[in-house]
Structure 1
Amino acid sequence: MGIVCTVQDVQQLEREWASDHDGSTWGLMVAASQSFVARFQADFAGRRVLVVAGNGNNGGDGFYIAKLLLEQDVKVSVATPLGLPPDNIDAFRACQEYQAAGGQMDEHLESAEADLLVDALFGVGLNRPLSGKALVTVTRINRLNLPVYAVDIPSGLHAQTGVCQPVAVHACATHTFIAYKPGQLTAAGPALCGELTLDSLGIQSTSSWRYARAFEPCLPARQGATHKAEHGNLHVVGGLKNMAGAAIITATSALNAGAGRVFLHCHELGHAAALARAPELMTRDVQRLLEEPPEGTYVIGPGMGMSSLAMQLWQVLLPKAKGVMDADALRLLAAQPVPVSGWVLTPHESEAAALLGVTSADIKADRLDSAQELASKYQTTVVLKGAGTIVATTEDIRFCYAGAPEMSTPGMGDCLAGIIGSLIAQGLLPEQAAVAGVNWHAHLGAKLARRQRIVLASDIIPLLKQIPDLAD
């Protein structure tokens, strides 16, 4: 797990570091540049490197990186499309040292022949839309079609929200410093950063936010004399008339994720299809839940619809059960918003918008803030699905292992809901189950995406039975 800090907190840590070093951040720039060169030394060796340097201190990193590469006899040149830095910041000194080492500069990107590009145009402090030369430069970098290695963050990516401003450099790799930033881990961040690595530069943060850099299993194990009932009862409620598929996906994923017994409460038209898919499931008439809901963990919502029966089921289960609320159950909650402590909410952006009474565009504009607001409003654990899934509670944030765009297929959320519900039924706390479930689901999907054009929920479900393969 890597530490995540807001941009403001990172800037404060830099100021504190400077106050302990005679008020200067020069040593930090040098350390960051050395770390960047060391990280990609093998990639740069024997290749022509073009560094695109801005006129701020991120550009200073670029100048010093170029100087270090010159000292290693790497063929390097620097483009300064935004001009040179002013003489009152560290970047000016870095520029002078690069020139003193014999470095060459040119305002035009196209002037240098290069095999790869180092993006040192803008850093994490960028908080305004690009315009003029900056907008043109980022667009040209992407059109060069070169492998791009970003210093701290791809230029044009908002470090707090992960939103492009309005365009951003598409990097194959990013080496960031001090801590991960939220915008690198959600929205457009995971796709634009490429392979993301961190060097804290020896600076310690007190932030409790964490990022799962890889899947680290914390799945319930079975030991000794045991019985299926000791591994949790999970009740999947949904699949009303003509919508059985979603509930069947949820139930089969829960079964394969290890729940001891899985009961599928759906319309009777779905029973035969469910048993044909997984005869280990136990089917129940959904109407019986209105009488006395059995004990256990629940996943409610997949394929439930918005009928009067769905509303009755939601109203009966809400105060009596705990577990996962997904899909149509979230729409019902949005219509009658109340705190739902003990439930894990798993909205995608449209459902999150309904829950907060805003638009999907509002959610996309700041996924982190939206996840925090949802957790606060509903006083529970929230899984805000999408690129760079966020798990939020009233006290904490977890940025989860990224999946793959090939996973954008029907039923994927139903599969995730079943996994999380299964882990809760097996004894994990809701937040633990949410983080473990999201990371497990994303890990499997990402592995499949390396050899498949699309990844379906039905591709992931069989793999849940296997011992997790952590090989890259």
Structure 2
Amino acid sequence: MLGGLFDKPLDRVVTAEQMRAIEGQLFEMGMPVAALMEKVAGRVAAWIMAQFPVQPYWRVGIVAGPGHNGGDALVVGRELASQGYAVQVYTPASQPKPLTADHLRYVRYLGIPVGETVEPCDLLIDGLFGFGLERPIAGAMAEVVRAINRMDCPVVSIDLPSGLHTDTGAVQGVAVKATHTLCLGLWKRAFCQDQALAYIGQPRLIDFDIPPSAVESVLGALPPVRRATLATLRSRLPIPRPPDTHKYRMGHLLLVAGSRPYAGAALLSALGARASGVGMLTLAVPESLRLMAVAQIPEALVVGCPETASGAIAYLPEDLDLNRYSAIACGPGLSRDAMATMQTVVDSSTALLLDADGLNLLADLGAAATLPQRQAVTLLTPHRGEFERLFPGVLADAIDSGTAAQMAASRCGAGLLLKGACTAIAHPHGTLWYVPDSTAALARGGSGDVLAGLIGGLLAQEMATARPDAIDSALDTVLDAALTGAWWHGQAARTAAAERTELGVDGVHLAQYLNPVLAQMLA
């Protein structure tokens, strides 16, 4: 009966206000603040000792601020000292909170050196400020942060690098550039913001056993905001397959892509679809690209389409029945001269993914006016420039990319994947996922084409196997495909970059890493 007592919602993402309310629930129900501090700091210290085993002559600097983040840091320093680490504490604040002052007094009693000015060390623990900082760091405290950033050693921030806004990830005056950040309890929203990545370094969640009831008491009535992890993605992958299945049960994707100037986009998106494991792939391209596509993607059914003078698909052949497909992906390399083709796929009653020029053409039609009229679900996969064209002013009005994606999804009634270093995936009803595990190696032409094909193939499989019976359940299916594809794509890019450097991950190699990385992750 007690087995589910601590079924932990470790993928939830919270704001500073929500985290304060959750901690307030713990304290109201009898958890002493001091006991929680000991527990949290003990787990932080255990992680540090595992990551940085004690070494002779090593000096560990502990920067303790005036609040409870500083108290956490002092307990961490005390625990490290008890295990043989040479610890030096720095307390630049003159008036710590009572509990932090108590820990500081005990640290002095133990004979651990305490100073005010940060000095060179071999490992530094940043406990200056945690979550919830709402004003810029200035004056003497700003100098402390700058001194930390001049250190030539690993810097571990407790909960959040000091100086980052908890929700937006914005730098408030100055901020610590950590090599590792140990987020406490639940993921803070800053960990899912592009602008925070240069300061967070390698993130790690330190679980301290928050009861689900405390989380649900604060977040229960709100649309969930989550951070993608391998644990949350396993159940969404289209494997293992039933042993008696066959290709016609594993989805049929129609990929409408390419033009003479952008022939490669069609091939790269087809490589992404191939990696998804979709049962059947039909590739609709301009007639002049048909033989090339057959040679490069021999397993696909390739349909050559009439062309415009510029080499775009003029229209889809009349005998191409769009309703026979599980899903359609349209847009990579399509060009702006394919409006008739675009209108045809939008008018279909098949689940539809729009990317690249499909989005640019949709912007000409008006996303908010066009998409709610569709009789099937739609997924949009824009980068920031395409998003601005589709939804002018929304990014400027929103506090972050996730909020912008939620606003746009609600406005047009479609699933929306907003690409970035931290990708945001929004459901029209408010559910939001972040996929922050990315790499600068993806800042390269062709990466998005591979992603479009990959998600399109996953969507076709989901639609064929799940057979959603209503728009709402179909939208959930769309988001599952988008979430799985974005996470998988990011993991493949990270692995490829580790082996080939960030300069060596072109679209073809990225597609080649997709299946080996998945096997590695599932092993």
**For residue 106 of structure 1, what is the aligned residue in structure 2?**
115
Task: Name the counterpart of 2:84.
Answer: 73
What is the alpha-carbon distance in structure 2 between the residues aligned to residue 271 and residue 103 of structure 1? 74
**Residue 403 of structure 1: aligned partner:** 438
| Counterpart mapping for 1:26-41 below 5 A | 26-41=34-49
In structure 1, the partner of 2:519 is 468
Displacement of 1:470? 1.8
Alpha-carbon separation, structure 1, partners of 2:158 and 2:489: 30
Q: Which letter maps to 1:313?
A: T
Identify the match of residue 456 of structure 2 among 412, 421, 428: 421
1:175 aligns with 2:226: no
Instruction: Please give the secondary structure, in 2, of the residue aligned with 1:470.
Output: helix
Structure 2, unpaired ranges of 5+: 1-9, 306-312, 464-476
Greater Cα shift, 52-61 or 222-231: 222-231
Please report how far the alpha carbon of residue 226 of structure 1 lies from its aligned counterpart in structure 2 after TM superposition. 4.4
Which residue is equivalent to 1:233? 252
The reply to whether residue 25 of structure 1 matches residue 47 of structure 2 is: no
Residue 4 of structure 1 aligns with which residue? 13
163-172 or 380-389, larger mean C-alpha shift: 163-172
Counterpart contact for 1:350–1:359, Cα < 8 Å: no
Give the fraction of aligned pairs with identical amino acids, expressed as a percent.
Answer: 30
In structure 1, the partner of 2:414 is 380
Which shows bigger deviation, 135-144 or 3-12?
Answer: 135-144
Q: What are the within-5 Å matches in structure 2 for residues 295-306 of structure 1?
A: 295=323, 296=325, 297-306=327-336
Residues 223 and 116 (structure 1), Cα distance of their counterparts in 2 relative to 1, 3 Å cut: same
User: Could you tell me whether the CA contact under 8 Å between 1:64 and 1:97 is conserved in 2?
Assistant: no
Change in CA separation of 1:156 and 1:373 when aligned onto 2, cut-off 3 Å: same
Counterpart amino acid of 1:342?
V
1:192 is matched with which residue?
199
Three-state SS of the structure 2 residue aligned to 1:203 is coil
Q: How does 1:429-444 map to 2 (within 5 A)?
A: 429-444=477-492
Structure 2 matches for 1:134-149, cutoff 5 A? 134-149=141-156
CA–CA separation in structure 2 for the residues paired with 1:283 and 1:16:
59
Match of 2:127 among 87, 101, 120: 120
CA-to-aligned-CA distance 1:307-345 (integer Å, 9 cap, x gap): 3xx222222221313221111222233341224561111
Pairing of 1:148-167 with structure 2 (within 5 A): 148-165=155-172, 167=174
Q: Deviations over 1:66-111 (max 9, x none)?
A: 2222333321112233x23345x4322222222222232222213x
Shift of 1:287: 3.7
CA contact (8 A) 2:183 2:203 kept: yes
Report how far residue 359 of structure 1 moved. Answer: 7.4
* TM-score, structure 1 as length reference: 0.90
Q: Distance between the aligned counterparts of 1:261 and 1:224, measured in 2? A: 18
Which of the numbers 271, 277, 289 marks the counterpart of 1:258? 277
Structure 1 window deviating more from structure 2 (91-100 vs 437-446): it is 91-100
In 2 relative to 1, CA 378–129 (structure 1 residues): closer, same or farther, beyond 3 Å? farther
Structural mapping, 1:276-287, within 5 Å: 276-284=295-303, 285=305, 286-287=313-314
Superposition CA RMSD, Å = 2.5
Q: Establish whether residue 289 from structure 1 lines up as the match of residue 322 from structure 2.
A: no
Decide which moves more: 333-342 or 277-286: 333-342
Using the TM superposition, give the Cα deviation of residue 124 of structure 1 relative to its aligned residue in structure 2, in angstroms.
1.1
Q: Deviation at 1:360?
A: 6.2
How far apart are 1:63 and its partner, in Å? Answer: 2.0
Corresponding position: 1:325 with 2:341 = no
Superposition deviation, residue 261 in structure 1: 2.2
Q: Which residue of structure 2 lines up, in the alignment, with residue 59 of structure 1?
A: 70
Mapped to 2, the partners of 1:85 and 1:19 lie a distance apart of 26
1:425 Cα deviation after fit: 0.7
Bigger mean CA offset, 178-187 vs 39-48: 39-48
For residue 341 of structure 2, the aligned residue among 307, 313, 317 is 313
What's the secondary structure of 2:520's corresponding residue? coil
Q: Deviations over 1:120-174 (max 9, x none)?
A: 1121112333333333332332221210111011122222123333543232222
Q: What are the ranges of 5 or more consecutive residues in structure 1 without an aligned counterpart?
A: none
Q: TM-score, normalised by structure 2?
A: 0.82
SS in 2 for 1:175: strand
How many residues matched? 464
Q: 1:354-397 CA deviation, whole Å, 9 max, x = no partner?
A: 3321276667x612211221221222222121112222212322
Which of 224, 227, 230 is residue 211 of structure 1 equivalent to?
Answer: 227
